[in-house]
Amino acid sequence: MFAETQHNFELFYKSGALPVLLSTAGVSKSQENINRPNGITTHHFLWILDGEGVFESGDLTFVLKEGTGVFFKAHTPHKYYRTTPLFKTAWFTFYG
């Protein structure tokens, strides 16, 4: 599942709405390995639904086990990858 919103940032920020704007949300039944040396333009929450992987950002490395999650800020270099055959994730990205 994948969904993306269309937005007018200037109107959003001037409206006084909540200080966050959803960009994407989804579930990956077979999460691919991700390497983003420059990060992405949005903040990102990632949850591990099944399986196990590793998250790396700068000098930080930790194991992502089922039931855990990670938050990373926009423009933060990072990568995450599977360490088990099954690596199911859910995520959402947002501005704010």
Contact indicator for 31, 89 with CB cutoff of 8 Å: yes
pLDDT at 23: 85
State the sign of the Cα–Cα–Cα–Cα dihedral 92, 93, 95, 96.
Answer: positive
Task: Assess contact for 80 and 33: CB atoms under 8 A.
Answer: yes
Which pLDDT does position 14 carry in this prediction?
A: 60
pLDDT of residue 43: 92
Q: What are phi and psi of 12, to 5 degrees?
A: -60, -50
Q: Give the CA dihedral 28, 31, 78, 72, nearest 10 degrees.
A: 30
Q: Which pLDDT does position 21 carry in this prediction?
A: 78
Angle ∠(47,48,49) on CA atoms, nearest 5: 110
Per residue of the chain (96 residues), give pLDDT as tens: 444 445 555 655 565 556 777 888 999 999 999 999 999 999 999 999 999 999 999 999 999 999 999 998 999 999 999 999 999 999 999 887
**Partner residues linked to 14 by β-bridges:** none
